[in-house]
Structure 1
Amino acid sequence: MNAPAADRLTSAVVGRDFLASIVVFLVALPLCMGIAIASGAPPALGLITGIVGGLVVGSIAGSPLQVSGPAAGMAVLVYQLVQEHGLMMLGVVGLIAGALQLLAGVFKLGQWFRAISPSVIHGMLAGIGVLIFASQLHVMLDDAPRANGLLNIAAIPEAVIKVFPVDGSVHHLAAMAGIVTIATIILWNQFKPKALALIPGPLLGVIVGTAFAMVFALPITLVNLPATLASGLNIPTAEALAGFTNPDILTLGLVFAFVASAETLLCATAVDKMHIGTRTDYDKELRAQGIGNMICGGFGALPMTGVIVRSAANVEAGATTRISAIMHGAWLLLAVAAFPFVLNAIPTSVLAAILVYTGYKLVNVAQIRKIAEFGRQELVIYFATLVGVVAIDLLTGVILGFGLATLKLVYTFSHLEIRREHDAQTNRVDLWMTGSATFFSIPQLGQALESSPFGSEVHIHVEKLDYIDHACLEMLSSWEKLHQSGGGSLVVEWSELVERYGRRSEEKTEIPGLMIRPAA
Structure 2
Amino acid sequence: MSAPDSATASPLSSGPPPSNQPLSRRRTFLADLTASFVVFLVAVPLCVGVAVASGVPAELGLVTGIVGGLVTGFLPGSSLQVSGPAAGLTVLVYQAVQQFGLSVLGVLVLATGLLQIVMGALRLGRWFRAISVSVVEGMLAGIGLVLIAGQLYSMAGLGAPSSSLAKLAGLPGLLLDVVRSGAALTSFALGLGTIAVLVLWKKAPQRLRVVPAPLVAVGLAIVAGALLGPSVAKVEVQGLLDSIQPPGPDDFARLAELGVIGTILAFTLIASAESLFSAAAVDRLHDGPRTRYNRELMAQGAGNAVCGVLGALPLTAVIVRSAANVQAGARTKASRVLHGFWLLLFAALVPAALGLIPVAALAGVLVHAGFKLIPFAEIRRLWREHRGEAIVLVATALAIVAVGMFEGVLAGLALSVIKTAWDTSRVHLEVVDDGSGPLVARLSGSATFLRLPKLLDQLEALPQDRPVEVDLSGLHHVDHACRTSLENWAARHSTENVEPVRFAHEPR
Tell me which interval the TM-score lies in, with the shorter structure as reference length.
0.7 to 0.9
Q: Letter of the aligned partner of 1:70 in structure 2?
A: P
After superposition, residues 379-458 of structure 1 pair within 5 angstroms as 379-418=390-429, 436-437=446-447, 444=455, 451=462
Kindly indicate whether residue 187 of structure 2 is the aligned counterpart of residue 177 of structure 1.
Answer: no
2:167 to 152, 157, 164: 152
Equivalence map 1:294-443=2 (5 Å): 294-418=305-429, 436-437=446-447
Give the drift of 1:197: 3.4
Match of 2:118 among 80, 87, 103: 103
The letter for the 2-side match of 1:296 is C
**Using a 3 Å threshold, how does the CA distance of structure 1 residues 441 and 79 change in structure 2: closer, same or farther?**
closer
Q: CA RMSD in A?
A: 3.3
Aligned residues: 477
In structure 2, the CA distance between the partners of 1:434 and 1:186, relative to structure 1 (3 Å rule), is farther
Residues 96 and 250 of structure 1 are in contact (CA less than 8 Å); yes or no, is this contact kept in structure 2? no
Counting aligned pairs with the same residue, the percent is 40
Structure 2 CA distance for partners of 1:431 and 1:105, relative to 1, 3 Å:
same
Residues 153-232 of structure 1 correspond to what in structure 2 (within 5 A)? 153-166=168-181, 169-189=182-202, 191-217=203-229, 219-227=231-239, 229-232=240-243
Aligned partner of residue 46 in structure 1, secondary structure: helix
**Residue 433 of structure 1: how far off its partner (Å):** 6.9
2:39 to 18, 24, 33: 24
Are the counterparts in 2 of residues 437 and 468 from structure 1 also a CA contact under 8 Å?
A: yes
Contact (CA 8 Å) 1:223, 1:345: kept in 2 or not? yes
Moved more, 375-384 or 440-449: 440-449
Distance 2:155 2:51 in 1: 14
In the alignment, structure 1 residue 46 sits paired with structure 2 residue 56: no
1:86 and 2:131 matched: no
Q: State how far apart, in whole Å, the 1-side matches of 2:171 and 2:392 are.
A: 27
Residues 355-375 of structure 1: CA deviation (Å, up to 9, x unaligned): 011111211211112322443
Q: Which residue of 2 aligns with 1:37?
A: 52
Q: Matches of 1:337 and 1:261 in 2, distance apart?
A: 30
For the residue of structure 1 that corresponds to 2:73, the secondary structure is helix
TM-score by length of 2: 0.85
Structure 1 residue 225: deviation in Å? 2.2
SS in structure 2 opposite 1:59? Answer: coil
- Indicate the residue corresponding to 1:250 in structure 2: 261
Q: Provide the secondary structure at the position in 2 that maps to 1:303.
A: coil
Q: What per-residue deviation string (whole Å, max 9, x for no partner) do you get for residues 27-61 of structure 1?
A: 11101011111111111111100000001100004
> Kindly tell me: are residues 290 and 458 of structure 1, through their superposed partners in 2, closer, same or farther at Cα, counting changes over 3 Å?
closer
How far is 1:448 from its partner? Answer: 5.2
Q: Distance in 2 between matches of 1:447 and 1:150?
A: 46
Q: Secondary structure at the match of 2:429?
A: strand
Contact 1:98–1:290 (CA<8 Å) still a contact in 2?
yes
Partner of 2:292: 281
Q: Secondary structure at the match of 1:170?
A: helix
- TM-score between the two structures when normalised by the length of structure 1: 0.83
Question: Is 1:9 aligned to residue 24 of structure 2?
Answer: yes
Does the C-alpha gap of structure 1 residues 9 and 381 become closer, same or farther in structure 2, counting only changes over 3 Å?
same
2:158 alignment partner, SS class: coil
Q: Deviation of residue 162 (structure 1)?
A: 3.2
* CA deviation vs aligned residue, 1:44-96 (integer Å, no higher than 9, x gap): 11110000000110000411111000111111110111111111110011111
TM-fit CA distance, 1:449: 11
1:286 maps to a residue whose letter is: L
Separation of aligned partners in 2, 1:74 and 1:280: 22
Gaps of 5+ in 1: 480-485, 493-512, 515-520
User: 58, 70, 73: which is aligned to 1:58?
Assistant: 73
